[in-house]
Structure 1
């Protein structure tokens, strides 16, 4: 299929989706009842389902979840058109204009020879567009803390506020580790200052996220992969214990560790 034929087919598919959305909004009791607010938590759930499919590298599920998210986008645009605020056309046009504006190295005279320069230009243009008084003003308040830390650091880097060398970042990690240990490793029986320890632990996590970013590791993805690995091994432990006629809660840690070591070899 030629590029022209493919584009025509894609546009036909999109037109079909818009037609179905119109019909559902008019005829389906559930779809007719939905609002921007009622769809919000469902959209968040669909986004996490897409994230799961990507981590599992399940292309068929990725296709399915992308469809679900596209449905939500079209749904929001339909509601926006009913409010005479925006429609799918103005949403797309606004996006196209933003992409052109934020890629002056493609659609203008700006020179950007590497990815880092592109990112810095993006953040500077974004800051001027939104009229924020702070570089960090565009970071959503409701972002999960780990992702928020990543975005804060990326935005600060976008205006040149960042470490220069990898070893400097690691030295900061070690410094924060020592400060956390100083609050946590108290004498036996001595009460821990939980407020201070919590603060130092937050500083330590922030510095580790910073180091991960510096060596091009996504800490959110890394932690989620470890979560999935732990779940897989723990469920092996549960199943192995059950097969042996044992209850996991009645086993010693040493006994459980035997199955855990087996799981690590899978």
Structure 2
């Protein structure tokens, strides 16, 4: 590519340079840091996932653009600090993909793909100062997702139940401990243990707990909106028996329509 040619990314990067200009840029954009932008990055990733779940391709295109903006934003802040630039980010991930796919870019058999990926990742982690089996599980992950990743890492070194009966018994045990907790702090601890145990049970049943909870959230929202539609008066102030009856009607209508 000659120096006169441009890529579709160049206008976006130029816009970010202008926004971050200390003299003529946007004051809000100029004052941002890695830490202040990180929550927006996480939010945009979830909006991408939401568009995928709704199978909304127009929204997905927009949300991918917003997520790409976050990468450009972080990269620009880093470039201003003399740390790295966007090109370094892109080159780094391309090199990583090639390194972790010897069954595509090298001589390894194609049917060893996932196994090769895990071996190479383990070798890369071995070079880290943190030699724990749990090293590299990001603190900023949603708690449900992080619980599953921590459990998977522990399972790799044999720290795991052999089947789902162990996690199932643990869920029952943790529920009893929630009920026996004597104060709010203890209840919070025990609820956390219960949630962790439920994630473990889901993992042993080959169910992604994040997806399962998202589906449950969607189900609750649909049925609650139907309850609101069915109600002939405001929900607030109605007895629980009436609300439960409306819920059962909403549930039955959904089941019938399925």
TM-score range, shorter chain: 0.7 to 0.9
User: Shift in Å at residue 197 of structure 1?
Assistant: 6.2
C-alpha offsets along residues 79-116 of structure 1, whole Å, 9 cap, x if unaligned? 21111110011111111222222223333444563565
1:260 maps to: 247
Q: Which runs of 5+ in 1 are unaligned?
A: 1-8
Number of equivalences = 246
Q: 1:46 aligns with which of 39, 44, 47?
A: 44
Q: 1:231 aligns with which of 221, 230, 234?
A: 221
CA distance in 1, matches of 2:60, 2:122: 32
Contact 1:150 1:209 in 2 (8 A): yes
The aligned runs of 1:168-207 (5 Å cut-off) are 168-184=162-178, 192=182, 201-207=191-197
User: Shift in Å at residue 200 of structure 1?
Assistant: 5.5
The worse-fitting range, judged by mean Cα deviation, of 134-143 and 118-127 is 118-127
Contact 2:227 2:250 in 1 (8 A): yes
CA distance in 2, matches of 1:104, 1:261: 55
Q: Which runs of 5+ in 2 are unaligned?
A: none
RMSD of aligned residue pairs (Cα, Å): 2.9
**TM-score normalised according to structure 2 size:** 0.80
Structure with the larger helix share = 1
> Would the alpha carbon gap of residues 82 and 196 (structure 1) be closer, same or farther in structure 2, given more than 3 Å must change?
closer
**TM-score normalised according to structure 1 size:** 0.78
CA distance in 2, matches of 1:79, 1:93: 18
User: Shift in Å at residue 263 of structure 1?
Assistant: 2.0
CA distance in 1, matches of 2:206, 2:177: 30
CA distance in 2, matches of 1:200, 1:102: 40
SS at match of 1:250: coil
